[in-house]
């Protein structure tokens, strides 16, 4: 909380009563005397104005109520990393600690804490700390050079989310001193990424980098994960970033300010720059950053196994081509990105694409997928074994959910897990048989035939159902009887249209009658008796079917029905007496 | 010293056991063949090893060859499930003598598990148990994993518990039991099996942690985006809870350091020994790092209905005892603040006669997750064990289902055929009714 109104205060991240903001102005605001800081709040509704006061514009805000003027003594610039660690983990003796007096109760009984003293002692041994969480601890800088390395060199995982770090440089200053750092989470910090300065700092052990909600752009992350190329678009000097350790980077919460919009394309390069310094990076989380992928990572991200791009609404399928050749990418999370389709134009029907060669698990929950062709495209991925596709327009209807599941399973042949449920061989068999039956009629109409010589399927059908031929090979072509569509159960559909012939009476006309299949022979005789004026006991009935010409079947049991004798539509009843 | 022997009975017990030992190995740095990971040579690693070595002993037995063998026994009356372990990823972790299987299964029938088929295997099982117990310097007690609804889980367990009490009368026995849920069950007769086994096992167990399959199913479905949770997903979640409960036994911890403490802290009367478990946070692996869970977040969450492992409403009952076990990056200051801030604490009612309230402990070993599972790795977690009278709801539901079937003597012949008598059913039902009354009595003030 210094009163110095030096220029380096501008851009710093501060905290005022729990709310975070960025300093945009430092100086005097007449007519009120004394120094003021002009801040732009993270929360756009927290402020009173947009940086102007009584006509004069002191600074600019994105939002009309995004800014305020605050007295310097109310503003907290944060503390350094080491102090923050000590504040959190070190047992402090002294009269300020009133923990002994504070007895908490739950439901009118006291809460007994057991072993807290020994825990506090253990945690105080900073040099033994391996996993450190400093979320929301107002950390703004690394502090004294080498201080961190000396005090807590064994830190492997650090959570620095929601702090006051204002630039990637500061992050590097901290991370640099931690030789064993494997997981770094700097989400929810509005970081400024360097645009041209050489970053020295190697995060060689880093495996996981979490950058959710930091406002980072693609090129920046790209650079942090290890590469000095890919900056051509920006015409920036190539940065040699030596961050090898960063394995897990988490940059979240990127907010693109009005300024940034104009240079949005430029900013996208920043992700790549950050990642440039992490040669061993395995997991990169970039949720909620409004990222759009603008360039292909050539030297960087080559070791990345997991890439989380959820909640970045600007991503679309064309951008995915730019990351399609990452050799080790096994898991790709694209939830809530508004994606509706995917295409792999380099592969034809039934072929495998060369894109995403190692992709095993794809997550596309909460998107706009509404076409079945999406899954046909996924079939082209050579390594895909697991898919999560929940809450999309195609799969939303509850009653359709089961059918949707079966269709997805049948469309993607080598899928082993769908929506986190293993696909057992039995389920796969059921799904594939159902698929084959469901589209059997379409197949026939498109020229399908069980004789391979006569099988000439239309282009259209093959595109819509690329696996159909394969299913026919596996289970056999669908039989006609399988494809009979079920007529609705109305009476008129159950009536048999029969011809009635009288072999001994050649002059009698052939009648045509519609009789229900459940009618017993006795009743048929009764009907005919009334028609022909012949007593029932004299009648002898049999029938013949055009399917089996020449063969006559006797209908001798009066109590059985026409159905029992398999009398079908179009058959001919023969009446003799 | 202070060793704990785990016995896994029936399909449920064995599958939970499989997941459980896999998780323990990950937590202790033991590879699937029993050898401890010996990565870096620097001082810190050694320091870490020293720290954990002392606790290996409770659950793992170290052989001369440097292998760590779990102190566990897997028992089933038919071979299929155990064969899964014999040929699975962890086959070299266990000694073949620890995996016992019979030839003919119990067919979801308590009577077969207890009388006919079970009685043929019991002696072998006891012998193996004796062998394992002899390897222990100072055996604390047993952890039994089983389901209520299956034939082996219900019948064989009752038989085994009786005999264990006979042989090891002063050792504690803790149970992890799977309470039947209609949505994932395959047998109609689960209520029968559950009532019968509860009646015969209650007097032999010191504390039973119930896991309601339905509650876990819902958690997996809603919170972890698993479309149709299978036993595998459910078990992975259940073992996280089991790991939290046994964490203090395996690592240095302040609370519930040995089995006797569980009893002392949680069980006011011998029959009232069914604590309810709640666990937080439960985050899907697809959403790792999207949200951060602070100590106060998870403290509030564990009072929520949706985080409980048994479906019952604690607001309708009274608490008799409660333990909160934090795990991972948790600072004592934050715990106090979090508890003070929990709004639900006002709706928590204790019985009059109980002097102590909540016991809170921290174990700073971070929670581990199984790779490829549904859960995301988190920095800290909390497990709440509470002995609340509201759990009588679970018994009431079960008893009701039992009554519906028994009124018509439906499916009874399967049991009578194996030599059981109707009288046993009546006795068991009476016992459970008495248990419900016991819970009611506990609530009443003097």
> Are A154 and B44 an interchain contact pair (Cβ–Cβ within 8 Å)?
yes
- Is residue A522 in a domain? yes
Q: Which residue of B has its CA nearest to A111?
A: B358
Query: Secondary structure of A182-210 in the HEC alphabet?
Result: CEEECCCCCCECCCCCCCCCCCCCCCEEE
Phi, psi at A187, each rounded to 5°: -60, 160
Q: Does A165 lie in the same domain as A70?
A: no
**What does the DSSP 8-state code read for residue A391?**
S
- Is residue A117 in a domain? yes
Residues of chain B positioned with their CB less than 8 A from the CB of A128: 44, 47
Q: Which residue of B has its CA nearest to A288?
A: B290
- Is residue A514 in a domain? yes
Interface with B, mutate which of A98, A104, A189 (most B CBs under 10 A): A104
Q: Which of B44, B47, B286 is closest, CB to CB, to A335?
A: B286
pLDDT along chain A (577 residues), means of 10: 59 86 84 85 84 82 84 87 86 50 68 81 82 87 83 88 86 85 88 62 78 79 49 26 33 32 42 78 89 82 90 87 90 92 85 91 92 90 92 75 86 91 92 90 82 78 87 85 70 78 79 86 89 86 85 87 85 87
**For residues A26 and A43, what is the distance between their CA atoms, to the nearest angstrom?**
20
Predicted confidence (pLDDT) at residue B42 exceeds the cutoff of 60: no
Rg (CA), chain A: 38
Q: Does A141 lie in the same domain as A68?
A: no
End residue of a domain, out of A31, A48, A74:
A74
Q: How far is B228 from chain A (nearest CA, A)?
A: 6
> Are B331 and A106 an interchain contact pair (Cβ–Cβ within 8 Å)?
no
**For residues A67 and A46, what is the distance between their CA atoms, to the nearest angstrom?**
8
- Is residue A289 in a domain? no
Predicted confidence (pLDDT) at residue B216 exceeds the cutoff of 80: yes
> Which of A312-316, B22-26, B288-292 has the highest mean predicted lDDT (pLDDT)?
B22-26
Q: For chain A, what's the residue count? A: 577
Residues of chain A positioned with their CB less than 8 A from the CB of B319: 107
- Give every CB contact of residue A197 below 8 A, 6+ residues apart in sequence: A169, A239
* CATH label of the domain that carries residue A47: 2.30.30.190
Which of A283, A219, A306 minimizes the C-alpha distance to A254? A219
Q: How many domains does chain A have?
A: 3
Q: Does A105 lie in the same domain as A63?
A: no
CB atoms within 10 A of CB A473: 10
Q: For chain B, what's the residue count? A: 446
**For residues A182 and A278, what is the distance between their CA atoms, to the nearest angstrom?**
10
Q: How far is B72 from chain A (nearest CA, A)?
A: 28
> Are B342 and A159 an interchain contact pair (Cβ–Cβ within 8 Å)?
no
- Domain B396-444 CATH superfamily: Helix hairpin bin (1.10.287.600)
Selected residue with higher pLDDT from A194 and B7: B7
Cβ atoms of B383 and B298 closer than 8 Å: no
**For residues B90 and B86, what is the distance between their CA atoms, to the nearest angstrom?**
8
Q: Which of A115, A122, A252 is closest, CB to CB, to B255?
A: A115
Q: How far is A209 from chain B (nearest CA, A)?
A: 10
Report CA torsion sign: A430, A432, A434, A440: negative
**For residues A138 and A1, what is the distance between their CA atoms, to the nearest angstrom?**
13
* CATH label of the domain that carries residue A565: 3.10.20.90
Model pLDDT, residue B132: 94
> Are A111 and B339 an interchain contact pair (Cβ–Cβ within 8 Å)?
yes
Q: Does A110 lie in the same domain as A63?
A: no
Q: What is the mean pLDDT of residues B6-24?
A: 95
Q: Which of B232, B364, B374 is closest, CB to CB, to A123?
A: B364
Every domain of chain B and the residues it spans: 3-37+52-395, 396-444
> Are B358 and A365 an interchain contact pair (Cβ–Cβ within 8 Å)?
no
Residues of chain B positioned with their CB less than 8 A from the CB of A109: 350, 354-358
Architecture of domain B3-37+52-395 in CATH?
Answer: 3-Layer(aba) Sandwich (3.40)
The pLDDT confidence band at residue B17, using thresholds 50, 70 and 90, is: very high
**For residues B379 and A414, what is the distance between their CA atoms, to the nearest angstrom?**
35
How many inter-chain contacts (A to B, CB under 8 Å) are there? 146
Residues of chain B positioned with their CB less than 8 A from the CB of A121: none
* Mean of per-residue pLDDT scores for chain B: 88
- Is residue A536 in a domain? yes
- Is residue A257 in a domain? no
Q: How far is A266 from chain B (nearest CA, A)?
A: 26
SS3 (DSSP) at A444 = helix
Query: Long-range contacts for A328-331 (Cβ within 8 Å, ≥24 apart)?
Result: A328/A302, A328/A303, A328/A304, A328/A358, A329/A304, A329/A305, A329/A356, A329/A358, A329/A359, A330/A305, A330/A306, A330/A358, A330/A359, A330/A360, A330/A361, A330/A383, A331/A305, A331/A306, A331/A307, A331/A359, A331/A360, A331/A361, A331/A362, A331/A363
* CATH label of the domain that carries residue A83: 3.80.10
**Domain housing A32:** 12-74
Q: Does A544 lie in the same domain as A521?
A: yes
Q: Does A68 lie in the same domain as A168?
A: no
Q: How far is A91 from chain B (nearest CA, A)?
A: 10
End residue of a domain, out of A28, A51, A74:
A74
Residues of chain A positioned with their CB less than 8 A from the CB of B288: 285, 308
> Are B357 and A107 an interchain contact pair (Cβ–Cβ within 8 Å)?
yes
End residue of a domain, out of A192, A223, A258:
A192
Predicted confidence (pLDDT) at residue B350 exceeds the cutoff of 60: yes
Q: Which residue of A has its CA nearest to B338?
A: A104
Model pLDDT, residue A261: 30
Q: Is B261 a catalytic residue?
A: yes
> Are A422 and B354 an interchain contact pair (Cβ–Cβ within 8 Å)?
no
Q: Which of B27, B162, B252, B261 is catalytic?
A: B261
Q: Does A184 lie in the same domain as A87?
A: yes
Q: Which of A99, A119, A365 is closest, CB to CB, to B362?
A: A119
**For residues B19 and B7, what is the distance between their CA atoms, to the nearest angstrom?**
14
- Is residue A307 in a domain? no
Instruction: Could you list the beta-strand ranges (E) of B271-318.
Output: 276-280
Q: Which of B254, B289, B364 is closest, CB to CB, to A114?
A: B254
Rg (CA), chain B: 21
Cβ atoms of B375 and A420 closer than 8 Å: no
**For residues B126 and B194, what is the distance between their CA atoms, to the nearest angstrom?**
23
Q: What is the mean pLDDT of residues B29-55?
A: 59
Which of B276, B245, B256, B273 minimizes the C-alpha distance to B383? B245
- Give every CB contact of residue B146 below 8 A, 6+ residues apart in sequence: B8, B9, B10, B12, B13, B152, B153, B154, B157, B175, B176, B177, B178
Its ipTM equals 0.83
Q: How far is B422 from chain A (nearest CA, A)?
A: 40
> Are A113 and B332 an interchain contact pair (Cβ–Cβ within 8 Å)?
yes
Q: Which of A108, A115, A335 is closest, CB to CB, to B254?
A: A115
Q: What is the mean pLDDT of residues B248-276?
A: 83
Q: Does A85 lie in the same domain as A30?
A: no
Q: Which residue of B has its CA nearest to A307?
A: B286
């Amino acid at each position: 909380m210094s009163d110095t109104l030096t220029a380096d205060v501008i851009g710093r991240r501060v905290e005022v009563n729990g709310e975070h903001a960025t300093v945009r102005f430092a100086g005097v605001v007449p007519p009120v005397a004394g120094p003021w800081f002009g801040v732009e709040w993270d929360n756009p509704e927290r402020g009173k104005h947009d940086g102007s006061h009584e006509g004069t514009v002191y600074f600019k805000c994105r939002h009309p109520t995004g800014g305020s003027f605050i007295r310097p003594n109310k503003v907290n610039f944060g503390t350094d990393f080491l102090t923050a660690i000590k504040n959190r983990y070190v047992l402090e003796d002294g009269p300020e600690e009133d923990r002994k007096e504070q007895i908490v109760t739950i439901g009118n009984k006291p809460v007994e804490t057991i072993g807290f003293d020994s825990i506090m002692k253990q945690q105080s041994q900073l040099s033994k700390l391996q996993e450190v969480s400093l979320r929301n601890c107002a950390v703004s800088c690394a502090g004294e050079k080498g201080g961190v390395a000396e005090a807590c060199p064994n830190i492997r995982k650090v959570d620095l989310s929601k702090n006051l770090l204002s630039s990637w440089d500061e992050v590097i200053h901290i991370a640099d001193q931690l030789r064993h750092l494997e997981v770094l989470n700097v989400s929810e910090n509005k970081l400024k990424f360097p645009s041209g300065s050489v970053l020295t700092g190697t995060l060689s052990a880093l495996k996981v980098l979490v950058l959710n909600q930091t406002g980072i752009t693609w090129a920046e992350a790209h650079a942090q994960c290890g590469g000095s190329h890919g900056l051509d678009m920006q015409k920036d000097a190539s940065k040699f970033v030596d961050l090898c350790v960063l394995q897990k980077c988490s940059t979240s919460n990127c907010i693109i300010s009005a300024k940034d919009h104009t240079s949005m394309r430029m900013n996208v390069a920043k992700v790549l720059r950050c990642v440039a310094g992490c040669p061993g990076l395995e997991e990169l989380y970039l949720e909620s950053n409004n990222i759009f992928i603008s360039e292909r990572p050539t030297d960087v991200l080559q070791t990345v196994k997991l890439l989380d791009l959820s909640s970045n609404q600007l991503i679309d399928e064309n951008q995915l081509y730019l990351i399609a050749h990452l050799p080790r990418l096994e898991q790709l999370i694209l939830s809530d990105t508004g994606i509706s389709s995917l295409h792999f134009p380099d592969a034809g029907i039934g072929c495998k694409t060369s894109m995403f060669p190692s992709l095993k698990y794809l997550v596309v929950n909460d998107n706009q997928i509404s076409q079945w062709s999406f899954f046909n495209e996924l079939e082209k991925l050579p390594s895909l074994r697991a898919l999560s596709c929940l809450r999309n327009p195609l799969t939303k209807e509850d009653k359709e959910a089961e059918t949707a599941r079966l269709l997805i399973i049948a469309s993607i042949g080598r899928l082993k897990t769908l929506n986190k449920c293993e696909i057992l061989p039995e389920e796969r068999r059921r799904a594939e048989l159902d698929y084959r039956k469901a589209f059997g009629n379409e197949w026939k109409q498109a020229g399908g035939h069980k004789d391979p010589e006569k099988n000439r399927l239309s282009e259209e059908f093959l595109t819509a159902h690329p696996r159909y031929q394969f299913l026919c090979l596996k289970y056999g072509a669908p039989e006609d009887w399988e494809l009979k569509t079920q007529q609705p159960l109305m009476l008129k559909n159950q009536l048999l249209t029969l011809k009635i012939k009288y072999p001994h009476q050649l002059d009698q006309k052939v009648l045509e009658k519609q009789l229900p299949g459940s009618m017993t022979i006795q009743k048929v005789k009764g009907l005919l008796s009334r028609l022909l004026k012949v007593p029932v006991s004299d009648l002898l009935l049999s029938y013949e079917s055009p399917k089996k010409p020449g063969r006559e079947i006797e209908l001798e049991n009066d109590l059985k029905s026409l159905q029992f004798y398999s009398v079908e539509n179009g058959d001919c009843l023969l009446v003799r007496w | 010293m202070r060793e704990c022997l785990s016995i896994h009975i029936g399909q449920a017990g064995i599958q939970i056991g499989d997941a459980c030992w896999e998780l323990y190995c990950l937590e202790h740095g033991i590879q699937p063949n029993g050898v401890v990971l010996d990565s870096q040579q620097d001082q810190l690693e050694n320091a870490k090893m020293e720290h954990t070595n002392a606790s290996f002993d409770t659950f793992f037995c170290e052989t001369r060859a440097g292998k760590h063998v779990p102190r566990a026994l897997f028992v089933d009356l038919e071979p299929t499930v155990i064969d899964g372990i014999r040929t699975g990823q962890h086959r070299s972790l266990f000694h073949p003598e620890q995996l016992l299987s019979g030839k003919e299964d119990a067919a979801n029938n308590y009577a077969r598990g207890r009388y006919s088929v079970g009685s043929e295997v019991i002696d072998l099982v006891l012998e193996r148990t004796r062998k394992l117990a002899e390897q222990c310097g100072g055996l604390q007690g047993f952890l039994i994993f089983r389901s209520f609804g299956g034939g082996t889980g219900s019948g064989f367990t009752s038989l085994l518990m009786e005999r264990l009490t006979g042989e090891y009368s002063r050792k504690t026995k803790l149970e992890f039991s799977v309470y039947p849920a209609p949505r994932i069950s395959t047998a109609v007769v689960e209520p029968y099996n559950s009532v019968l086994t509860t009646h015969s096992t209650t007097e032999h167990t010191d504390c039973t942690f119930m896991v309601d399959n339905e509650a876990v199913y819902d958690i997996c479905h809603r919170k972890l985006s698993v479309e149709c949770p299978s036993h595998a997903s459910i078990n992975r979640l259940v073992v996280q809870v089991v790991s939290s409960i046994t964490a203090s036994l395996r690592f240095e911890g302040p609370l519930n350091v040995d089995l006797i403490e569980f009893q002392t802290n949680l069980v006011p009367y011998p029959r009232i020994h069914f604590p309810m478990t709640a666990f937080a946070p439960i985050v899907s692996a697809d959403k790792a790092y999207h949200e951060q869970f602070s100590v106060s977040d998870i403290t509030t969450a564990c009072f929520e209905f949706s985080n409980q492992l048994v479906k019952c409403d604690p607001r309708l009952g009274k608490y008799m005892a409660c333990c909160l076990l934090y795990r991972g990056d948790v600072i004592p200051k934050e715990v106090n603040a979090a508890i003070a801030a929990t709004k639900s604490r006002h709706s928590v009612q204790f019985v009059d006669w109980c002097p102590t309230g909540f016991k809170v402990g921290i174990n700073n070993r971070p929670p581990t997750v199984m790779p490829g599972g549904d859960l995301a790795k988190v920095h800290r977690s909390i497990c709440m064990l509470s002995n609340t009278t509201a759990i009588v709801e679970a018994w009431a539901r079960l008893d009701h289902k039992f009554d519906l079937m028994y009124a018509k003597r439906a499916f009874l012949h399967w049991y009578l055929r194996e030599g059981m008598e109707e009288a046993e059913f009546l006795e068991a039902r009476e016992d459970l009714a008495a248990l419900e009354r016991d819970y009611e009595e506990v609530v009443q003030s003097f």
